[in-house]
Amino acid sequence: MKELFLLSAPVIHGKKFWRTIGFPTANLDIKNNQNQKFWVYAVELIIDTKKYYWVLNLWERPHFNDGGWVSYEVYILDFKKDIYTQHIQVYAYKYLRTQQVFKSESAFIAQYEKDILEVRYFFKD
């Protein structure tokens, strides 16, 4: 399987919004968008020789009115370790969808749950 792109960056503290709705994320300290589109991707990461699968959100944070701040946020499926300050490499393998703005938190969560199912299905092998 060939990746679409690779991101390499340390994990930093974010605003911790995602954890309040049940999806704690790792925020990547990336200074520019390296020409990726503002999309949602299925990605893979290796931590301590174990593979983990993620939903990567690369967007301008349209839900939070942050003045166009570009965010690289990853929700790691089935993962609960503290990886702050660790330098990680993220391999993007599949485009899932474009950036969207949702009318409610429940619509946002419902779409994100669909994204997670799609990532699980994509990496099931």
Taking the domains of the chain in order of start, what are their residue ranges?
5-122
> Does 60 or 54 have the greater pLDDT score?
54
Work out the pLDDT band at 33, boundaries 50, 70, 90.
low
| Domain 5-122 in this protein, CATH class | mainly beta
Side chain identity, residue 74: V
Q: How many CB atoms lie within 10 A of CB 94?
A: 15
Place of tokens 């944070």: 61
Determine the pLDDT at residue 99: 78
Determine the pLDDT at residue 85: 87
> Does 40 or 32 have the greater pLDDT score?
40
The residues near 102 (Cβ < 8 Å, ≥ 6 apart) are 63, 108, 111
Determine the pLDDT at residue 93: 92
pTM: 0.79
Cα→Cα distances 64→57, 82, 101, Å? 14, 25, 10
